Structures are given as C-alpha cells and as structure tokens.
Chain A
Amino acid sequence: AQSVTQLGSHVSVSEGALVLLRCNYSSSVPPYLFWYVQYPNQGLQLLLKYTSAATLVKGINGFEAEFKKSETSFHLTKPSAHMSDAAEYFCAVITGGGNKLTFGTGTQLKVEL
C-alpha cells in the first residue's frame, strides 16, 4: 500500500534560514506526490505536486520539492524562511488505485525572529 511518512512533527527555523521538511514515501508504482499547507484556522491548500514530469517541482510562495526515487523522498524546501511561512505542512500521496489522497501526519513549522 502506498503511504507517506513525515519526519519531525515540529520544525523550528530562524527567519531567513533554510526550510527543510522531510517526506518519505512507500509505493510499488511511481507515485503522485503532493505538499499541502494549512495556515491557522484555515483549510489546506495545495503548495505543489509531482506527477512524474520534472523531478524538481516548484510551488507557490517560493517552495520547491525534489522527487528522489533512490531515496524514496520528496522533501520540501525553501531557501529563506519568512514569518508568514509558519503553518502546518502535509505531504500526501494518491492511493487506492487513484481514488484517494492519503496524507502524512503533518509537520508544524515555526519561524522565529
């Protein structure tokens, strides 16, 4: 069964520092992978998605993620954190033969001055 694992339920970075949020997947077939963000008191919104085209995917708000098959990873990065990036981030994978989106447990990002 396809699934994703997010390492680190809480990550704290300084403003201006690199953001790295980790996601590893398990899948017997090439996966479709996603990153979603949830700002306080809001629903989730799509940051970016990988659908087997380019391995480096650029998303909104300066985020990007790289699909690495050899490491079964799809880590989310941003070169320079901003206070407005403080939110919860979810990695997700399509499962159930393409019928369902299964989410990881989430990583809460805190950005400090």
Chain B
Amino acid sequence: DVKVTQSSRYLVKRTGEKVFLECVQDMDHENMFWYRQDPGLGLRLIYFSYDVKMKEKGDIPEGYSVSREKKERFSLILESASTNQTSMYLCASSQDRHLGKLFFGSGTQLSVL
C-alpha cells in the first residue's frame, strides 16, 4: 500500500515562530501537494510540486513556502506563523500527472497561539 506519512499529528506553535511540516511518501510518486482543511471551506491547495526542486503555487500560497530536495519528501514552511494559519494540513502524492488518484496523509493539526 502507498503510504504518505506526515511527521506530526498535532503541533502547537507560537505566533512568529518558523514552522516546518514534513511529508514523506514511499511510492516514488512524482507529484506532491499540500492542502489546508478548514471547516466549511473544504480543502484548499497551498503548493504543489511535480519534480525535485520544482514547486508551483496553489490557490492560497501567501505566508507559506515549500521545499522538495528529494523526491520522497515535501516540506511545508511557515516562515512566521500567525493565528490565521491554525488549521489541519494535509499532504498528498500522486503518480499520475493528470491526477488519477491522490494518496493522502492523515494530517497535521497545527495550532498557532
């Protein structure tokens, strides 16, 4: 089975801290994605990547950056965390360039105080 692993299930940070959310997939997928999930808003795409060292902005990239130094790992970075970034963060990967199927991690619930 494909496994997408997010490093933390729950994370509590303070306003202004630099936050790293890590995601690792074990199926050699080319494509990786970061979404945030908020009640009533569904999932919104933050950033995605189709290859190592490649990244593209999603729908809500402001306040975030990403890093993909290795194919299996895709990191989401909050340069200076703010309270409005309190959310559930979901990582996903896909083999198919045309998004036949996304495999999701179980999420990181980030609270920024």
Contacts and interface: CB of A to CB of B under 8 A. Distances in A.
Given A100-B45, A105-B42, A43 B4 contact: yes
A43 B105 contact: yes
B74 interface: no
Nearest to A39: B106
Interface in B92-113: 92, 97-107
Range of interface residues on chain B? 20 to 34
B107 A9 contact: no
A11 interface: no
Interface residues of A, number: 23
Contacts of B42: 6, 90, 103-106
B99 A43 contact: no
Q: Find the residue from B45, B99, B101, B106 having the highest chain A CB count within 10 A.
A: B99
Given A43-B107, A45-B104, A105 B98 contact: no
A103 B102 CA distance: 12
B69 interface: no
Interface string A12-49: 00000000000000000000100010000111111001
Contacts of A102: 45, 59
Nearest to B56: A99
A44 B101 contact: no
A8 B51 CA distance: 37
Contact of A49 (B4, B41, B92, B101): B101
Contacts of A41: 106
Contacts of B102: 36, 44, 46, 101
13 contacts: A6-B42, A43-B90, A43-B92, A43-B104, A43-B105, A43-B106, A49-B101, A51-B100, A90-B43, A98-B98, A102-B59, A105-B40, A105-B42
Given A99-B48, A101-B33, A103-B35, 8 more contacts: A9-B40, A41-B106, A42-B106, A43-B107, A94-B99, A98-B97, A100-B48, A100-B99
